[in-house]
Structures are given as structure tokens and as C-alpha cells.
Structure 1
Amino acid sequence: MKVQETTLGAVASNIQTGPFGSQLHSSDYSDEGTPVIMPQDIVDWKISEQKIARVSEEHVQRLQRHKTNEGDIIYPRRGDLAKCAYITDNETDWLCGTGCLKVTIDEARANSKYVYYHLQQPYSTSCIELATVGSTMPNLNTSILSKVKLRLPSIDIQNKVVDILSQYDELIEVNRRRIAILEEMAMRTYREWFVFFRFPGHETTEFVDGLPKGWKYRSVTDILQILYGKDHKLVYDGLFPIYGSGGIMRYGNEYLYEGESVLIPRKGTLNNIILADGKFWCIDTMFYSIPKIPKICKLAFFQLKAFDMEVFNSGTALPSMTIKILSCLKLLVPDEKYRTLFEQSISAIFNELTYLKKLNVTLQQMRDRLLPQLMSGQLEVTP
């Protein structure tokens, strides 16, 4: 496959930083309005809406030049600099926020989706890593991005590759939506039972001091044994998920624990509480847990998700969580009868969630194996 060696700057019509802090203050954010994409919203090479900030239309009009269009590519200026996200129709007319950069590809020179896929390859990511190595606080800018190297085949070949890879992405996205719906169903069931106390038989249940008789609040460390994760650098690639504070980082040939476990970030994104099951590894910036009482992990997971863990941050430069802080958090522990009934009521939902997540892992692995082969020409594509 004949390719042309070029740079991101050569195929981009524009590369610009998001608004400066003086243009967009923390007091400008609101619960409703247009989403503003921050570095923490770039998750798994796409935009996550889970914790996204928003601003009113007044600020959108003032910051028109920072609005996103389908096909734009968003990079963080700090943090994990090699990750980026592709703006789909869903994120069109959002704002590129403070701490991010926006790349607009000239479609006459390159297919923007192809460029996005290419930027996930070592040939491109190494340009960023080498340009920022040695910095105390690695910082990405328009100059570094402009020099990122690309190897581009003809537009026709680019379009064909995008067609192939997009089929995997579309299937993965459909499954992600189904997962989000199922997670919302599980959360609503939890809230119905344990927040509003409308569990089966609540009409005839005796309440003492506002709680069903036999239910009590207990410390996180009373019901979960909290353990430190371990460094994964010496773990070879394999089948077992390796979790970091952003979710699954990769898959390894060793596991740290087998069973249901609530994973709690120790550094970084403190609010990303994760419920893991089966064999997994947990890195050293995470806590994992072993239940001390039966059928408590899902209940602990839902309750910890309801906390704003950032409020308990004990760090300075980097957000941090400690076992001592966790020992001060109280969780509602129903009696074993209702823990068992709740487990039974949502088991079908979690079985489906497990199936869909494993299916997405398989699809992602298939796509990720295809990606470098298509990019390098190892698998020949005819326009």
C-alpha cells in the first residue's frame, strides 16, 4: 500500500487551544446547558458524559470559536497526553473546554476518522511522548500536535478502512447504550429499596429510628476489607482485566483477586467507583476490597457511587483517598434476608451486563488487532 508521510499540521485546517481560565471560570458552570469537554471527559478514546460540566447559552455565544463540529479531534493539554476523542454527531455544537485542544481536519486532505484511528497508533503517540518526555508536568500544545507524524494512503483507501473499523465501533456503541440502560435500571431498583424504603413487604415492616428493624449503618471498613492494588508493569498481556482509576487499562496473564469486589480509586479520578467480578488485577493507584459479610458488594458499590469522593480528597497536587477516610464513611447494611432478596432481584440485570461487557471486550480486541494491520497495509484494502 502506497502511503504519504506527513504531519497532523499539514492535514489540519485548524489546531487551537480551548478557552483560557480567564474566559471560562468555575462559577460559569451549571447543572444544565451545553456540555463543556474537559480532559477528564476523554475516556477510552471517546467523550464520556458521566461527569461533564455545562454552561448556559450566554457563554456558548461568547465562546463560539470553541464550539465542536463532527469530525473534530479533542486532546487534553495535561495528563494522559496520548489519548484523544473523536467528535460525533452527538457532541456537535458542544464546547472544547479549558485544558483541551481541538483539531479540525481538512477533509480534502484526509478522512478525519482515519486520522483519529491513526493517532491511536504508536507511530503517532510516540511523537507526543517524545516531545513531552522529561517535563515535570507534561503539557501538550499546538506546536507539538502539528508535528505529530502520519502515514496516509489515498483518500479512497482511507474511506474503506474507516468503513471497516466503524462497523466495530457502531456495534460497541450500541452495546454501551444497552449497558447504560441496564445500569440505570439497577440503580433505580437500589434507590427504590434502600433510599425510599419501598422494598417488598415495606408496608408491614417495623421501623426503628427511621430504619427497618435490624438494618444499621456501618463503616466501609467494617463490611469490606480494603487492600492496595499492585504495579502491573511486570504483568504480561493476557485475558484478565487490569483496572486503573479510569477503568480497564489492558488485559494481563495474572490476576490479583477472584470474586466480586468494589474497586475504589486511591489516586486520580476518585469518583470512578467500579464493581468487578471474576479474576482481575488492580493497579497500585486503586484499592480493591474483599467482602466481610455475604451479598454486600453491590450494595456497597451503589452507596459509594452516591458519594462525591472528591470532597474527601486528602491530596494536594493529585487527588488522593486513604483507608482512614474510608473507615469514616458509613453505609447502610440491611439484614441478610433483604440483601439476598435484592441480589436475586437484580441478578438478571447484572448477568446481562456481564455478557454485554465481555462482548464489547471481544469486539474491541478484534478491532484493535485489525487497526494496526489496516494502517500498515499488512491487510490489503482495495478502494
Structure 2
Amino acid sequence: MSEWANIKLGDVADITSSKRIFYSDYVASGIPFFRSKEIIELEFGFKIEEPLYISHDKFESIRNKYGAPQDGDLLISAVGERSGIPFVVNNLGPFYFKDGNLIWIRNISSRLNANFLYRWIKSYIGQRSLESIMIGSAQKALTIEGLKSLQIPLPPIPQQQAIADVLSSLDAKIDLLHRQNATLEEMAETLFRQWFIEDARDGWNKGNLIDEFTITMGQSPAGSSYNEHGQGMPMFQGNADFGFRFPTNRVYTTAPMRLAQRFDTLISVRAPVGEQNMAWETCCIGRGVAAIRYKENPSLYTYTFFKIRSLMQSLKAFNNEGTVFGSITKTDLEALSVALPPTDLINQFEQQCKPINDKIIHNTQQIQKLEHLRDTLLPKLMSGEIRVAY
């Protein structure tokens, strides 16, 4: 790494913010206006929930006088718990952003590859460096002056490009699998809705959730049994552990109490109620989680998963129960009213949709492996411990 110079970020880019936009400048439609909330949603591939806009005239007035973000610029969230999240502007079209919420890195020198800078900021090394220049104790914040003084490594441009390309290719594959999963899950949900909701028969029996499914409510082991070193069995306490389809192994216990089995449907039963996942392996479930499996044949996990998915709105209504936190009891859960379709129809659905569901499961495993590879490579590439041929 001897030929990698360290340089102040302010020496290779302009670091600034936006001109102030007031509440009275918001309009019903026009040019998108982003706060850190929206930039973070874009960075993580989420749909913007509450879009804001300013008028075309207001935007043009600002852009002509002060400029506006363009492709290759970076924006970094600057205030609060989620400060330090970078976003590369790419094919967004015209937009503007909130001063104070976001810091703008633009006019990046030809000595610095914007994608390399983005990757470095996202790395463990970059995040630690950002933490070292944050101000405030109750609420952390990045400042323009702090970012100007930030020391960054500056490999030769071909090496920067090679590092960025390796990490971008991994992210592209991960993104492809995520998008494929979203499409597959929509297909399976559509089929379930057609078979069991839209085409439901009046002659089907009515019953309760307990008539179809075995329900196991979680129980938390003694805190002294917890560890983060993989000793014992993975334990999930609730929504904080849930991912796209499977929870993340974060905490383990050497004294498990209540268990979920492989491919059981998991739901959060406390604050908030109604988030859903699936068990990848036998695991311990704490008091914030319930495990659900089909009584007659536990291998019908696809039907189980999408049947519970169809009940999410009913489950989430329990978030309004209680004095402080929403929760649902075993009695309430077992008593949920459901239609009881014929067994042969359930088997037909499982036969048709299980390959779709299993593809989602396979893709999710691949995503986890690729994310682990990326997260392992990232600090090694950014520190020069691993070199990329170029």
C-alpha cells in the first residue's frame, strides 16, 4: 500500500450543501425534492413513501445560479442515527435536496473515481473515519468542514476503477436476485389470492387458525445464555431480526426454550405485530415471535407462508391494542377466523407454487453468500490488503 497516498477529500472535490427551501416552496407536483429520508430510501432500493416537490421555476432559478446535483455527484446523509449513508447520483433526472440533511460532493477531480469514493465511504474503514469527524453527543452530525478534512486513500485511478468494478459486479448480482425474488413472490401471492380468495367457494367450511395450523408461541431463555459467537442455537426475538425471507443470525442461546422447525412461518407478535419471515433451520424463538406450521402435513410450507401472508392486515390490527406496545396473544391468534379450503386444492396449490417458493429460498441463500463475500472483500480491498489486477 506504500504507493497509496492519503489526501484530504476537500482537495479532490467540492463539498457543499443546497440553498434553503422553505415549506411554503412545496407544491403538489413538479421537481422531486429529497431529504435524507428519501435519499436513504433510494440507496436501499425502497420506493419513496412521501414524495415532496418544488416548482420547475424555483428549481431552474436555483440551478441557474448555484447548480444542482448531476450524475456522478455524491450525497451523504448528515444528521441523526443514519448519518454517513452515501448515495451516488445516477439517472435520477432533475431534483433538489434539503440543506442540513444532506452534504453534496461534486466537481470530483479526475484523480478520484466517484464509485470508488462511494465504496470507500460504505466500507468499515470509511464509516469509522466518518464517525471520527462527527460532532454532537445526543445527535451525531457530519459537517461540511469535517468532510473537507477527511483523509481518504488515493490509489492509482486504474486500481480505483478495478476495486469499484469488483464491488459493483457483486452488488449488481445481489440486486438482480432481489428483483427476481420480488417478481416470484408477487406471482405466488397472485396465485394464492386467485385460488383461495377470489375463487373461494361458499361451501367451504369456516373455522379458526388453530383448525389448520400448529402455533408455537416463543419464550425467551435466560439472558445469561445469550451470546453473539455462534454458541448454541440461533435465537430470534422479533421484527428486529427479520430479513426479506429469513431472519439474521445475530444472537444465539445455549438454553433454548421454544423451538421453530425448518421452513416454519415466523410472525412477530409484539411491537410491531404482523411482520413475517420463515425459519431456515431449527431455531429458538423468543417471546416476540410465533412459529406456525400446517397441522396435517408440515411439508406444505408454501401454502402456510402465503396463507399467513393473506392474514397480515388482520394481524396488524393488533398493533392498536394494549396501552403502550401492540401485541397478540396465543388465544387471539388461534381464534382468527379463516376459510378452510379442501385438502386436495391445498395440495394442488403446493405442487404448483412450491417450485416458485423454493426458487425464492435458493435466491435468498445466494444473496446471503454474495453479501458475505462483498462485506468480507470490502475492507480488504479498501485497505490494500487485497489487490485487484487491472
1:347-380 Cα shifts (integer Å, max 9, x gaps): 1111000111111221222222222222111122
Matched, 1:244 2:240: yes
Do the aligned residues in 1 keep the contact of 2:103 with 2:144 (CA within 8 Å)?
no
SS at match of 1:137: coil
Alignment of 1:30-45 (within 5 A): 34=32, 36=34, 38-39=36-37, 42=40
Amino acid corresponding to residue 162 of structure 2 in structure 1: K
Q: Max radius of gyration: which structure?
A: 2
**Alignment of 1:334 onto 2:365:** no
Structure 1 residues 332 and 133: CA distance shift in structure 2, 3 A: farther
Secondary structure at 2:385 match in 1 = coil
Tell me, what secondary structure is at the counterpart of 2:227?
coil
* Counterpart pick for 2:228 among 206, 213, 235: 235
Pairing partner for 1:156 from 138, 155, 158: 158
| Cα distance change on mapping 1:80 and 1:302 into 2, 3 Å | farther
Q: Residues 250 and 132 of structure 1: is their aligned pair in 2 closer, same or farther, counting only changes over 3 Å? A: farther
Once the 2 structures are TM-superposed, how far is the Cα of residue 333 of structure 1 from its aligned partner?
2.4
- Cα distance in 1 for residues equivalent to 2:163 and 2:120: 11
Partner Cα separation in structure 1 for residue 25 and residue 285 of structure 2? 35
Q: Which amino acid aligns with 1:154?
A: P
The amino acid of 1:247's aligned partner reads G
Preserved contact between residue 123 and residue 379 of structure 2 (Cα < 8 Å) = yes
Gaps of 5+ in 2: 296-302
The one-letter code sitting in structure 2 at the alignment partner of 1:169 is D
Query: How far, CA to CA, are the matches of 1:245 and 1:98 in structure 2?
Result: 34
Structure 1 residues 240 and 74: alpha-carbon distance in aligned structure 2, compared to 1, 3 A threshold? farther
- Which sections of structure 1, spanning at least 5 residues, go unmatched? none
Distance in 2, matches of 1:353 and 1:139, equals 39
- Residue 309 of structure 2 aligns with which residue? 301
Distance 1:178 1:152 in 2: 36
- Cross-structure match for 2:268: 264
Question: Is the contact between residue 78 and residue 100 of structure 2 (CA under 8 Å) also seen in structure 1?
Answer: yes
Aligned-pair CA distance for 1:244: 2.6
State the partner residue of 2:138.
136
Of residues 153, 164, 175, the one that matches 2:177 is 175
Q: Which of 358, 369, 374 lines up with 1:351 in the alignment?
A: 358
Change (3 A) 1:112 1:189: same
The 3 A distance-change label for structure 1 pair 272 and 185 is: same
> CA separation of 1:331/1:53 partners in 2, compared to 1, >3 Å: closer, same or farther?
farther
What residue number does 2:6 align with? 5
Separation of aligned partners in 2, 1:282 and 1:98:
46
SS at match of 2:112: coil
Quote the Cα distance in structure 2 between the aligned partners of 1:247 and 1:151: 33
In the TM superposition, residue 172 of structure 1 has moved relative to its aligned partner by 1.6
Q: Give 1:22 shift.
A: 2.8
- Structure 1's 382 and 309: CA in aligned 2 closer, same or farther, altered over 3 A? farther
8 A Cα contact 1:227 1:287, kept in partner: yes
Q: What is the correspondence of 1:19-58 to structure 2 with a 5 Å cutoff? A: 22=23, 34=32, 36=34, 38-39=36-37, 42=40, 46-50=43-47, 52-55=49-52
Tell me which residue corresponds to 2:206: 215
**Structure 1 residue 264: deviation in Å?**
3.3
User: Could you say which residue in structure 1 is the equivalent of 2:387?
Assistant: 380
Between stretches 162-171 and 256-265, larger displacement belongs to 256-265
The one of 371, 379, 387 equivalent to 1:364 is 371
Q: CA deviation at 1:181?
A: 1.1
SS at structure 1 position matched to 2:153: strand
The answer to whether the Cα contact below 8 Å between 1:29 and 1:53 also exists between their aligned partners in 2 is no
Q: Distance in 2 between matches of 1:129 and 1:314?
A: 39
Separation in 2, partners of 1:324, 1:13: 56
d(CA) in 1 for partners of 2:18, 2:288:
35
Contact 1:124 1:149 in 2 (8 A): no
The alignment's TM-score, normalised by the length of structure 1, stands at 0.71
Deviates more, 1:357-366 or 1:373-382: 373-382
* Structure 1 pair 110–46 and aligned structure 2 pair: CA distance change class (3 A): same
The change in CA–CA distance for 1:323 and 1:130 in structure 2 (over 3 A counts) is: farther
Describe the shift of the 1:55–1:288 C-alpha distance in structure 2 as closer, same or farther (beyond 3 A).
Answer: same
Match of 1:187 among 186, 189, 199: 189
Question: SS at the partner of 2:7?
Answer: strand
Greater shift in the superposed pair: 94-103 or 68-77: 94-103
1:122 offset after TM fit, Å?
Answer: 2.7
C-alpha displacement of 1:326: 11
> Aligned letter for 1:113?
N
**Aligned equivalents of 1:376 and 1:181: distance in 2?**
38
State the partner residue of 2:17: 16
- Equivalent AA in structure 1 for residue 308 of structure 2: A
Higher strand share: 1
Paired AA for residue 39 in structure 1: K
CA distance in 1, matches of 2:293, 2:363: 29
Aligned equivalents of 1:300, 1:8: Cα separation in 2: 50
Give the TM-score of the pair, scaled to structure 2.
0.70
